[in-house]
Structure 1
């Protein structure tokens, strides 16, 4: 059976608050009482939870992080940036996903009620913006990573999706392409609209196919465009998975990349370096976004000001052989 802080308090003849103050090395406890509590802790083999350690100081020294599925291809980069930053500051991290929809959100709400963490980083699961906004309004420090163009009422870290789309168009124009096929992610995401607007402002096209951020979307869009006899000399894919599917379909149809069709993706996932040919793509600074969001939240927890405007980190065009 796990030893609890109540067991320690009972054995030492003190309150749970006193035990917590000893754990936090607070000066309010006299030396004799503190020594007795530490002796009981050693005898019972008590291992304090983060909640017990934080009881007296009013802080759990823990950051919460709410995400959609961990299978998103760039999720690991964001999480690593967050983890490196919060651990260096002496904080832990609780990770919550929304794989089970309403059940996941309900479980997350119980942890909020229990004050299991001091502040929240969010990669916004669909349908949770109102919930997260309400938490912020009730006093929970919140920072959003990758705002998808939502521009929430709390601090966020974003990237230059419009400029990224424009840089993809500029690259295709520089290689002499003028008839692009654009394959987007879901139009409900603000980042998709920004990438499309940035691209078409520089290189207009009437050939735009919307889908999901998947290889199947890229493959199906190219197969359909070829079957319909649509003429295109380039493809701008709204992420690298779409680009990989488009590349597969082009090669299956006997189209050479980049000689017949140039191809540009978005994200710069590790796989982009290993396609054949390697993929020209727009790099999102995902790890840097995680680091910046964590630093912003920690600064707010330390009493510093939280910014009113999003922190926007630049994208970067990475030129490889596909364009």
Structure 2
């Protein structure tokens, strides 16, 4: 036979046999009211240190798992953040840049309760469905990558109260928008200078999309280095950061500038497409045409020959964006100043 006091301190297993532990049982075990237990579990607002400790001990003892839906009603937090990618679905699933972004962002959230939600924002839906979803309380914050000039995300999210971090400099930048980036102009300049140093004098380039700041900045750096050397900067073809786009641009360059002896390509994926076109045209790399890419993702080591490239620290940038967002959601003060990573030249067989 047991006493009332013995029943009151029954082991957790006995309670668990009766079903999943409830908030009321946590409150009873901690010796506090139900509302105090709820506040302690959902952030500790207006809860004494003693009551907080008692509730935490009861939660651990009873193996209590809070109801996420109920918690959301109390805290107005979803414990979810969005990775917003305003690109076509097939590109998100095939471009290694986005896999590296997810890798870096996940590493920043690994020790938190925050869940990552991938939002593949089709261009035609951004101003309506995407923004409606982001503003609708479904997520607590957002990281935006692969931003384009006309997709309105920077302007709209900059005006909102939802914490947002961009990976890549937005076109419509003001002090309300936080962003992480690599020195793209410095990277383009570094690529052209490397080609000059190895004796190339007819240097072409394949740019990325003209509605993305990264593409324009990489092109600017290339132009600066080539013109500073007293060489023409007229051998230009426009790509779209895809392998097929790189192949089309390389074919155009060979047709319009058959005397080219090197190409700076604004992404490794486009460079892999360019290599195939050069091989079909009988141009040897690097003997006839030297190639420098940009990104230093896995594709750079899988091409033949392997790619000399400018390292774009995608994983580190995404991790930094996630850390900033994590700190903002925790109520910490975060500097609005952009964080810019330095590019790095990685020399391989293509030069």
Common fold by TM > 0.5? yes
Moved more, 204-213 or 134-143: 134-143
Larger radius of gyration: 2
Aligned to 2:98: 75
Cα deviation for residue 103 of structure 1 reads: 4.9
Cα deviation for residue 25 of structure 1 reads: 8.3
Change (3 A) 1:198 1:49: farther
Change (3 A) 1:49 1:74: farther
Gaps of 5+ in 2: 1-21, 28-32, 227-231
Q: Indicate the RMSD between aligned Cα atoms, in angstroms.
A: 3.7
Correspondence 1:66 to 2:88:
no
Aligned to 2:313: 285
Correspondence 1:142 to 2:164:
yes
The DSSP-based 3-state class of the residue aligned with 1:307 is coil
Change (3 A) 1:189 1:259: same
The DSSP-based 3-state class of the residue aligned with 2:200 is coil
C-alpha distance in 1 between matches for 2:134 and 2:262: 48
Tell me if structure 1 keeps the 8 A contact 2:148–2:171: no
Gaps of 5+ in 1: 1-6
Tell me if structure 2 keeps the 8 A contact 1:235–1:263: yes
Cα deviation for residue 102 of structure 1 reads: 4.9
Count the aligned residue pairs.
310
Change (3 A) 1:58 1:171: same
Tell me if structure 2 keeps the 8 A contact 1:24–1:54: no
C-alpha distance in 1 between matches for 2:172 and 2:43: 44
Cα deviation for residue 271 of structure 1 reads: 1.3
Cα deviation for residue 170 of structure 1 reads: 1.1
Aligned to 2:202: 179
The DSSP-based 3-state class of the residue aligned with 1:121 is strand
C-alpha distance in 2 between matches for 1:239 and 1:214: 8
| Equivalent of residue 269 in structure 2, options 217, 224, 241 | 241
Cα deviation for residue 128 of structure 1 reads: 7.2
Change (3 A) 1:163 1:228: closer
